[in-house]
Structure 1
Amino acid sequence: MSDNILEVKNLNINFKTFAGTVQAIRDVSFNLKKGETLAIVGESGSGKSVTTRSIMGLLASNAVIEHGEILFKGQDLLKESAKEMDHHRGNDLSMIFQDPMTSLDPTMTIGKQVAEPLRIHGKISKEKALKRAQEVLELVGIPNAKNRMKDFPHQFSGGQRQRIVIAIAIVNYPEILIADEPTTALDVTVQAQIIDLMRELQEKLETSIIFITHDLGVVAGIADRVAVMYAGKIIEVGTVDEIFYQPKHPYTWGLLSSMPTLDTKGAKLSSIPGTPPDLLDPPKGDAFAPRNPYAMQIDLEAQPPFFKVSDTHYAATWLLHPDAPKVQPPAPIVKRAQEYAHLMQTGAVDTPSEGSQN
């Protein structure tokens, strides 16, 4: 029996627009194991959020799932009714969004907002729901949670509001938690605290996490595996160590090269030249070819298949073909990635303790 709690297979999603059909998600496949954190990384517009919103059944009205499967414990969510998906959301699947102020109702107290999913999905009394809400607020680190249950969102700091959003997402102890760039709007100190909190919650609740981000530096601190997306496709997948220490796709090299480290103060960071392709008319070959300094003629003519690097590491680049020239990542990129990954994974960078305003 598979140990995957979630399997996405050959997912294709289009958006119907006035300008034409946008091929937003193109043959995306990945899996999620129980208790692991999978990070999905890529630039804005790469398809990260659309992919995960399809898991939740929260796509826009002009989205069309052309074909594919989303299997939760072997059950295809795409074949579920609206009522069945309502049951899954909150009970089995939950999502944390990027901006907590757009997720919280400014007119409702925090206690009621955290308890609301329990009332909707759990069918328990108001008193029991509020008691659980207080326990979860304490779990996510809200100081003096009992007395702050009657406070409103504007009375909390940005870091505390994000903790409250996390509390709402986990109050029903979902089996899969999707975090859509949950630290982007926060300063780096609070970012580190939220990452630490999510790691702690995963250990306590044994929740599987899909973590969406454009920042590979964040990935080093939380992920077990990484899927790199570009132009609606996954182009590399591997363990966090494989992606940081042995990246194979030139796009992954570009993402790694743009990461700052403690030694890059005052230095100019690298950037990936050009822009992503127009998915109204996707290119025939490798979508990254126009921005790839190592592109070959075949990159313009055919999409590369996934080449196996190890049992856990695959990359869709023609550079891994046996007949391709041997190209290695530029040395500065590898050095920067290794230094950063080492710092994040060994805890060499101290995280300031949280004060009452975080």
Structure 2
Amino acid sequence: MEKILEVNDLAVSFHTFAGEVKAVRGVNFHVNKGETLAIVGESGSGKSVTTQSIMRLIPMPPGEFVNGSILFQGEDLVKKTNKQMEKIRGKEIGMVFQDPMTSLNPTMKVGHQIMEGLIKHQKLSKEEAKKEAINLLDMVGIPMAESRVNQYPHEFSGGMRQRVVIAIALASKPKLLIADEPTTALDVTIQAQILELLKDLQKKIDTSIIFITHDLGVVANVADRVAVMYAGQIVEMGTVDEIFYNPKHPYTWGLLGSMPSLDSKSDELYAIPGSPPNLVNPPIGDAFAPRNEFAMKIDFELEPPMFKVSDTHYAKTWLLHENAPKIEPPLAIQSRMKKFQEKAAKKAGEKR
């Protein structure tokens, strides 16, 4: 498959009064044309820093590209000037942020905010841009688009505002769309609608998507592949089926086990013990070792490499070493994983 984006050995730091925060540490991944890659992990795992680095939105200073490259259609974005990036942002790469109220200008009509990108990147006249803005609002599911194009953000509900933000991001039909936790601030019903909308729009405009979330359950029906991030590194990467049906990293087990389930007979929810490490002084060895009940002596001494599980599945854990003991996820986690798998199988059957 054709790769539209390749991130190679990316390292990003922030220089603070407390010292150098190594926010992203040697990240590697790619995005194929027309696919959705989900990046999941707890807050502070480096997801947003990674994607904002792609858009070159990291303020420098205090931020700094320490190492690596970001190849978009073969060109290294790290080496681009701000002037060159202005031609790429919005036109080639679009972004949907978490909170639509901070993404939209409260003093401008939503139609004008959509029209800005159309006029700048596609060189449309005001009349043509307004017509296209109405089409975009209609495409993202906003009723009575012709009249609502003249309304202000405060006149829309939270879900509708997020649809407007998506319309702005898609105005120039970008080849890559980055969605940074676009459903976190929305209730579950609206969340499902936005996820369905993104899937539908992806087919219509043939774009690739990077979907950022801390909720592994959200990506099940959206993503083609999943990258699990922890402490600034990708610790597991695979197709959706591989991550949900055959996870190999204890951190992925923990994320799956901590997903709430309405049909669970027990009120007990699995919680990953401890908290993420301080990246001013990253731990020696496996960063997840202090929180890993299956940690071995080597986990505290040497950082594990990425072990190959299949051609598409890799995990950064010493448990995959040939000399490591064979360990299965805890029963509580297996139970939740089984429930999820049953739901996924049922949904797949309904689609057929």
Fold shared per TM-score above 0.5 = yes
In the alignment, does 2:177 pair up with 1:170? no
Structure 1 Cα separation of the partners of residues 266 and 120 of structure 2: 52
Structure 2 Cα separation of the partners of residues 140 and 346 of structure 1: 28
What is the deviation of 1:58? 0.3
In the alignment, does 2:205 pair up with 1:219? no
Task: Give the 3 Å change call, closer, same or farther, for CA 21–69 of structure 1 in structure 2.
Answer: same
Structure 1 Cα separation of the partners of residues 190 and 127 of structure 2: 32
Q: Aligned residue for 1:86?
A: 86
What is the deviation of 1:216? 0.5
Q: Aligned residue for 2:183?
A: 183
SS at match of 1:328: coil
**Percent identity between the aligned chains?**
61
One-letter code aligned to 1:317: T
Task: Give the 3 Å change call, closer, same or farther, for CA 265–207 of structure 1 in structure 2.
Answer: farther
Equivalence map 1:59-208=2 (5 Å): 59-61=58-60, 62-208=62-208
What is the deviation of 1:121? 1.6
SS at match of 1:186: coil
Equivalence map 1:219-298=2 (5 Å): 219-264=219-264, 267-298=267-298
Structure 1, unmatched stretches of 5+, are 351-358
Q: Aligned residue for 2:55?
A: 56
Q: Deviations over 1:107-145 (max 9, x none)?
A: 100111111111222221111111111101000000000
| Contact 2:69–2:76 under 8 Å retained in 1 | yes
Structure 1 Cα separation of the partners of residues 342 and 29 of structure 2: 26
Structure 1 Cα separation of the partners of residues 321 and 262 of structure 2: 36
Structure 2, unmatched stretches of 5+, are none
Structure 1 Cα separation of the partners of residues 344 and 105 of structure 2: 35
TM-score (norm 2): 0.96
Structure 1 Cα separation of the partners of residues 145 and 29 of structure 2: 38
Q: Aligned residue for 1:7?
A: 6
Q: Deviations over 1:209-228 (max 9, x none)?
A: 00000001101020100000
What is the deviation of 1:340? 2.1
| Contact 1:221–1:345 under 8 Å retained in 2 | no
Q: Deviations over 1:64-109 (max 9, x none)?
A: 0011010011111111121111001011101000000000111100
One-letter code aligned to 2:181: E
One-letter code aligned to 2:230: Y
What is the deviation of 1:342? 4.4
Structure 2 Cα separation of the partners of residues 167 and 346 of structure 1: 32
Q: Deviations over 1:6-54 (max 9, x none)?
A: 0000000110001110011000000000000000000000000000000
Q: Aligned residue for 1:307?
A: 307
| Contact 1:98–1:182 under 8 Å retained in 2 | yes
Structure 2 Cα separation of the partners of residues 259 and 41 of structure 1: 13
Q: Aligned residue for 1:355?
A: none
One-letter code aligned to 1:267: D
Structure 2 Cα separation of the partners of residues 94 and 266 of structure 1: 42
SS at match of 2:89: helix
Structure 2 Cα separation of the partners of residues 198 and 340 of structure 1: 22
TM-score (norm 1): 0.95
| Contact 2:285–2:300 under 8 Å retained in 1 | yes
Q: How many residues align?
A: 349
What is the deviation of 1:232? 0.3
In the alignment, does 2:24 pair up with 1:25? yes
Alignment RMSD: 1.5
